[in-house]
Chain A
Amino acid sequence: MRVALFVPCYVDLINPEVGVSVVRVLRRLGVDVIYPEGQTCCGQPTFNSGFFDEARTIGRRFLEVFEKERFDYIVCPSGSCTTMVSHYYPFVFKDLPEERERSEVLAGRVREFSDFLVNVMGVRDLGARLEGKAVFHCGCHQRRELGVLEEPRGLLSNVGGLDLLDWENEELCCGFGGTFAVKMPDVSTAMADEKIKALEKSGADTLISGDSSCLMHLGGRLRRTGHDTRILHLAQVLDDGKAG
């Protein structure tokens, strides 16, 4: 099994430890991991703000970089960036037959990290251990466009020492929404506060997600409001809670 890593730009620049954990977990399963170094960003920030031309330029570059490589799957530790490639590249290229076809081919081969582990590799238990009481926040793209919700939960339920708790209104968005967080900061922050209230009520000491962007938002608000909640990406948990 040969996998091309797609490491979202903010993971590359802000949370590189998440990418490192992904590599370690995949290698432990005997996966041959490559990292196409020409990759930058999938273009989602431009797309979400309505700048479709700019998104297409960045998308074209993404197609070129990955088409050059030989791999079975592209794996990405973000439900949101995976969705950009799997759902929204075909969407922005829908009127350009050649690129649409290319994007559809790639869309069929890109997998969110937990989706790949469970549905391609058939793994449910990685033998990981992490002491704590955790809630899992599923990013909205992962939940709705990808429909990959049970996979991360299943993986987490098999982590030794980890108590996975229910929390209220867990389906609600964290309020990040890309540029939404700075365009509508009051609403965005109020959305984070609602999640944090539910987190407090659950009694969890750890917040886990498959999207570092949601974690950056909820984490940023948690820290500002004086919470010391442990914040981990799913890949770090499966890598025994390593922070890098």
Chain B
Amino acid sequence: METGKPARKRETEDYRREGLASGIEGFNDRARRAVADEQLHDSIELFTHKSVAGRNAVLDALPEAPELRERAYRIKQETMANLDRYLGQMADAVEARGGNVFFAGDGEDVVRYIGDLAQRKGAKIITKSKSMATEEIELNRRLEEDYAGLEIVETDLGEWIAQLAGDTPSHIVGPILHMNLKRITEVLSRTAGEELPPDVEALGSFARRRLREKFLTADIGITGANFGVAETGTVATVTNEGNARLVTSVPPVHVVVMGIEKLVPRLMDLSVFVRLLARSGTGQKLTVYTNFITGPRQMGELDGAEELHLILMDNGRSRLLGTEFEEALYCIRCGACLNVCPVYRQTGGHAYGSTYSGPIGAVITPLLKGHDEAKDLPHASSLCGACWEACPVGIPLHELLLKLRNQQVEEGLADKAQEIAFKGFESTMKRPVLYKISSKAGRLAQKPLLRDGSVRPLPGPLSAWTDSRELPPLAEKSFRELWKEGI
């Protein structure tokens, strides 16, 4: 832990700076490095292949999968249309069971609430199970910076290794899929203060020993929520390592940080979502551990935290309600869209420069943070639609990307050269005569550029094509000319 600390700070800051500066070039620069990294490519291939194959197998074996997908979409649609009412219902249910509820407008509210709570409790160690909502607001860094003496320990194995390495997750479900065994061994050896063998069992056993100490001495446990149920106030978490159980049952205080979109109206709704989540994310029928936590420990109950705090975090989400982007809130963070995305396959998650990567990251990052911080992301897609096809809730991610591109144009954020080019394109294409003249002019202009049947590498904007691919020339005669001559 201690040895990892300085490195963590430095790398975290670099990452943030890059994330903030990410224009079109930001993604491309990071993607270029990622594409050249063969080890990264192998790691991504291994993970996504396994996930996609597993997902296809379990979904093929579930004949009602298309119907579940449709139902999941409808439930989320209904939830968002009545989100205020359902949030109120959930808050009432949690409070009725003796829990505390806090509505957080943004990350700062969450940090203050947890930091102050920790101070009141005299807490030193906080254990955490995996939570993208807390990654989104950089909760660990901010708590440790603002509240001296507080140690936050991630307990999901992948998240813990990422934390020790000063790294950020590169996948919603597989946070360190970008690391190979060699790198993981390095990180854990540094933490152990001795050389550990590059052996999964030995490393796992070291992690287990070290994490047990933290589990047993933690003062507060923080989890996210895979789902929150309005009618009962239940928080559902799904894990494969069982760490969420230790985080929520050993320390006396349990804090849940839940994005407000994680709500479902009824307990029965989980029969739809839980069946879809593990199948879509990891290719399992069910994760190893599925926990339902309804309020703090009640009289006569044997386990559970004595105190429960439910933080319902907005952080930009409610702005999307009732807009053409509302469907982005239907996401259940299964990661299926990342696994099938041909762009993600080439770049991995860090190229996106955001907590959320892949197609859903390219959609929600600009929506939650604004285009200025993620101008490039809506363009990091070939619009192939594999994400939409894989999404267990049926979010039309490719259409949301298109709408975001349009929003950039409408708000005057599009690249000026591009704007001029498309104005010219529009003006040519609406006039057949101009189209014909332009194509003839193009044929004349390309003559000196032809070489072995291709257009030779060009300078300027077209070099982006010709640097890596041959460009076919315009044909001697267009189809319309051939048609006129008679086919």
Mark A residues whose CB is within 8 Å of B: 7, 9, 11-17, 19-20, 23-24, 35, 37-41, 43, 45-54, 57-58, 61, 91, 140-141, 144-145, 171-173, 175-192, 194, 216-217, 219-221, 223-224
Q: Which of B12-20, B180-188, B237-245, B424-432 participates in binding chain A?
A: B424-432
Please report the number of residue pairs spanning A and B whose Cβ atoms sit closer than 8 angstroms: 197
A52 interface neighbour in B409, B474, B477, Cβ under 8 Å: B409
Does B311 reach chain A (CB closer than 8 Å)?
no
Given contacts A186-B35, A187-B31, 6 further A-B contacts (CB under 8 A): A38-B432, A40-B435, A41-B435, A172-B342, A185-B465, A216-B472
Write out the residue numbers on chain B whose beta carbons fall within 8 Å of the beta carbon of A43: 426, 429
Q: Let me know if A13 and B475 touch, CB within 8 A.
A: yes
Contacts of B407 in A (CB 8 A): 50
Asked if residues A50 and B475 are in contact (CB atoms below 8 Å), the reply is: no
Distance of A52 Cα from B411 Cα, bound (Å): 13
Is B320 an interface residue, CB under 8 A from the partner?
no
In the bound assembly, the distance between CA atoms of A61 and B435 in angstroms comes to: 13
Contact A219 B409 (CB under 8 A): no
Partner of A171, one of B386, B409, B454: B386
Binds A, one of B254-262, B294-302, B374-382: B374-382
* Segment among B155-163, B168-176, B224-232, B479-487 that sits at the interface with chain A: B479-487
Q: Give A223 to B384 CA distance when docked, in angstroms.
A: 24
State whether the Cβ of B216 lies closer than 8 Å to any Cβ in chain A. no
Identify the B interface with A (CB < 8 A). 24, 27-28, 31-32, 35, 342-343, 345-347, 378-386, 388-389, 399, 402, 404-409, 414, 418-419, 422-423, 425-426, 428-432, 435, 439, 442, 454, 461-462, 464-465, 467-475, 477-483, 487
Give the top 6 A-B pairs by smallest Cβ distance, nearest first.
A177-B382, A50-B405, A220-B469, A173-B384, A16-B479, A54-B426
User: A184 CA to B467 CA in the complex, in Å?
Assistant: 12
* Chain A residues with CB under 8 A of B475: 13-17
A119 to B470 CA separation, bound complex (whole angstroms): 36
Q: Which residue in B346, B384, B423 is a CB contact (below 8 Å) of A177?
A: B384
Closest to B453 in A: A223
A20 / chain B contacts, CB cutoff of 8 Å: 479, 482, 487
B471 — nearest CB in chain A belongs to which residue? A220
**A38 CA / B430 CA spacing, docked (Å):** 9
